[in-house]
Amino acid sequence: MTAMLKIWLDGALVAKDEAKVSVYDHGVLYGDGCFEGIRAYNGRVFKLGAHLDRLWCSAAKIRLTPPYSKEAIAKAIRDTLDANGLRNAYIRLVFTRGIGTLGLHPFRCPKPGTFVIADRIQLYPEELYEKGMKVIVAQRPRIPVACLDPAIKSLNYLNNILAKIEAIDADVLEAIMLNVDGFVAECTGDNVFAVKNGEIFTPPAEAGILRGVTRGFVMNELAPALGIRVKERMFRLPELLAADEVFLTGTAAEIIGVSQVDDHAIGSGSVGPVTTKLMHEFRKRIEAGAPED
């Protein structure tokens, strides 16, 4: 099936092998563009409205005018899923600056590029959702907020990739990143939550994080439905290590418990009860029909 995969590229569905982006595209040359990672569950596109809103916000912050309406992009996503016969998929939606010159000037790129990929993904092995995953703390700090607005989900992920390499070198799959002031920020591709005495806390935007869509779903819908308080606040690594539970959220990851950070076991060293409740509530809602708003 992979060989027959269809990509939506600038208004047309084309075979994967024919989906080409110019070497003069500023997305390639400079990481100049923005993207969203989205999930489809049983034919429903999870939080599509929130993802499109965030993408348009990212585009506005880099002064990139989307070449299509939100309605047209929503249809492109559904058309791509249908063309590939996928009801459960990971979707990558990308705006690039488009073809321009070899200079940095972004406004010499007359037309932004757009593409949609729909494929399958399994970020972490299933056994880690049952036992919890080990992570490290990266030596590489997050880019300061004053240097790069973390609300921009840009095509330049090198800061995250360098921290991801640290995780791979340590034989784990994820790394927690601190900001330059030593506060917990986020992971290379996931948001971080901690649980203490039955209450959840998570870093705020000013810590240098992307406000994840799954993060928002946990904070604003799942946790309140379970009667669990969630608070955004700054905290440092010792407080994270002293937590009863730690879990991560992300579009690809969904919700996954952390059993160990570096050489330090978190809580009992397994997936805790609050994390388990949230995982079950997430799955229950997805099976009932993934919310698309």
CATH of the domain at 196: 3.20.10.10
191 and 264 housed in the same domain: yes
49 and 141 housed in the same domain: no
168 and 216 housed in the same domain: yes
pLDDT more than 90, % of the chain: 97
104 and 182 housed in the same domain: no
CATH of the domain at 49: 3.30.470.10
Residue 270 lies in a domain: yes
134 and 29 housed in the same domain: no
Residue 21 lies in a domain: yes
201 and 96 housed in the same domain: no
From the list 271, 147, 132, 287, the residue with the least C-alpha distance to 208 is 147
Residue at a domain's end among 119, 136, 170? 119
Please state the rounded mean pLDDT for residues 174-179.
Answer: 98
pLDDT digits (tens, 9 = 90+) for 58-95: 999 999 999 999 999 999 999 999 999 999 999 999 99
Number of H helices, E strands in the chain: 9, 15
Angstrom CA distances, 23 to 27, 90, 96, stand at 9, 26, 12
266 and 251 housed in the same domain: yes
Q: What was the pLDDT predicted at 2?
A: 46
pTM (two decimals): 0.95
113 and 130 housed in the same domain: no
| Angle, in degrees to the nearest 10, between helices 70-83 and 48-61 | 120
102 and 142 housed in the same domain: no
| pLDDT above 60: residue 277 | yes
91 and 154 housed in the same domain: no
CA 127 to chain centre: 21
194 and 235 housed in the same domain: yes
Residue 293 lies in a domain: no
Q: Rounded to whole angstroms, how far apart are CA atoms 72 and 92?
A: 16
Mean of all residue pLDDT scores within the chain: 97
* Catalytic residue ranges: 153
31: containing domain: 2-119
pLDDT digits (tens, 9 = 90+) for 186-244: 999 999 999 999 999 999 999 999 999 999 999 999 999 999 999 999 999 999 999 99
Residue at a domain's end among 67, 86, 119? 119
92 and 199 housed in the same domain: no
Total tally of structural domains belonging to the chain? 2
Residue 109 lies in a domain: yes
Q: What was the pLDDT predicted at 122?
A: 86
Residue at a domain's end among 102, 119, 136? 119
pLDDT more than 70, % of the chain: 99
Q: Are strands 133-137 and 6-9 parallel, antiparallel or unpaired?
A: unpaired
Quote the tokens at residue 88.
Answer: 């459960």
Query: Can you give 254-282 as a three-state secondary structure string?
Result: EEEEEEEECCEECCCCCCCHHHHHHHHHH
Secondary structure letter of residue 208 according to DSSP: T
Q: What was the pLDDT predicted at 4?
A: 74
Phi, psi for residue 193 in degrees, rounded to 5: -130, 150
